[in-house]
Structure 1
Amino acid sequence: MTSFRHIVNMVVGLAVGMGGAMAASAQAIDNSSLDGSAFRGHVATYGLVYRLPPDVTGVLDAKITGPLQAHLLRLGLKDEARTSNLPHVTVVHLHSADPATPQKMLKALPKVPAPIVLTLKTFYTTEAAKDAGHPWWLDLGIVKTGDGFETLMSYNTVATAALTPLRDGPLPRCTGPVFAKMGDAAKDLVKTVGVSGVNVVKDGKELRSHNPHNTLVYSMAKFDPPVQAAMKQVADEFNAVLPDGIATTFKDVSIVEIGFSGNVLREFYRISLEDGSAVDVATGQVVATIAK
């Protein structure tokens, strides 16, 4: 088994190299929206994500989706119940008004890992920043042990270094009232890579803040105490339904378009973790091969 220290050293080396190579071709990045009190206007967000495999979505559809919809409607969270989303676990998000960004992401995509074995487990709520008010989410976490989790973390580091230079500024949901409530470390990430909650290399060292998870509810409603209490009860109920979580294997990663709150709207390219082939989802044709 590859040691943790070897993995970290390898990732740091790759990230430093990619960061330098990408810097020369990066577009102009405008951070001026971080000075305002309102959310930055949203044009288009793109992301690299792992689509949830059928063995996961099948369990969620059978045991979670129906009760969750009922809870949301009971709580008056109608927009949340209607929000469309392709179930996924995020690698990294970036905002860009350039419609060619998905193609640029495919070209810049770093070497992909082998298929990733992991377990999704534990439902919980998350705020974009504590006491910011919104947005907030109901998430399903990933067990933070084992080679699969280590691969998720390592790949986040290299993907963040390779792809975030394609942004035109910070992710809108990380600006305004959310940015104001962030801690210094999160603010530094938003300033330097456009989004918080990712792994980066700083002064030759890997700094990890990534928390891979699947999101089931995306909300811009105020996360006030009654909503917090109600959603905690929902999370507790679902944890009792799936106490052992859902074991699975991620076999591909996708380049997608994302809504303001993080929900996936459409998929552009699907890249196999088995052979590196990249398929244009619209045509079904292989358009590139990413190094393994």
Structure 2
Amino acid sequence: MTSLQVTVPASSANLGPGFDALGLALALHDVVEVQVTDAGLKVEVFDAGAGGIEDVPTDERHLVVRALRRACEHLGVKPPGLHLRCFNKIPHARGLGSSAAAVVSGIAAGYALADKPLDGDAVQLSAGFEGHADNAAASLLGGFVLAWCDNGRFHAERLNPHPSIRPVVAVPSVQSSTEATRGLLPAEVPHTDAALSTGRAALAVHALTSRPALLLPATEDRLHQHYRASAYPATARLVHELRAAGVAATVSGAGPTVLALTVDGIIPAGVDVEGFEVIELPVDRTGVQVTGR
């Protein structure tokens, strides 16, 4: 392909107790158009609702370009020049996998330019940018993913989430830095908290695929969310209110977006969502898609 379009979904990682291991693809998409040219690089960035793209570089530092270059190097492809048009709809720095989506779009574009199908190396290449594969694997594969790292090699397995699950996100206007919120995590956690989160993560796999009625206990977490609460008090408050109302709510990724795993697409009346944009986002079941010629 010398002219192509990449459509890549947003994602929510962790899903409560599955820290750096569980991810869910969501039907909110960035689109990247890639044209092979005679020489040079041109990058255009369009804000289609993402917000926070003012500081996005339009040269070789652009994340899509970096990922595309890495895939091309891995596959032995050397396009003479590139023209990229990036239509960003996934909010930046909100915990919805915007960085992972950019990386995945670049990796997928590189594979398409090489006329190669996505493979296990695509997971490795994508996850290598952030050091964990939860968001990237969800954007690559769609659906619900389990991700892990074994001796420096990233892996992921895709599972089908239960068809009755209807995710709802509450997106605040404020941004959050993954690097900053990770800095709030302790080096060690109590054994009882680790044991509880391990059990809940296993239960989350069962609840998400087979028993949605168990989602509330399955999304209980003691590994990371309460340690980060000081970084986004409004998010922590909303998660608490939703869970008190019986909704399986978690912090989406590093926050500050809230993910509610519902079966009706509704936030209960009486829950204060002021300051948040509430959006029902179906599960994206296909992952990254590439079309072109």
Flag whether TM exceeds 0.5 (same fold).
no
Q: Which interval holds the TM-score relative to the shorter structure? A: under 0.3
Normalised to the residue count of structure 2, the TM-score between the two structures is 0.27
Give the structure with the higher percent helix: 1
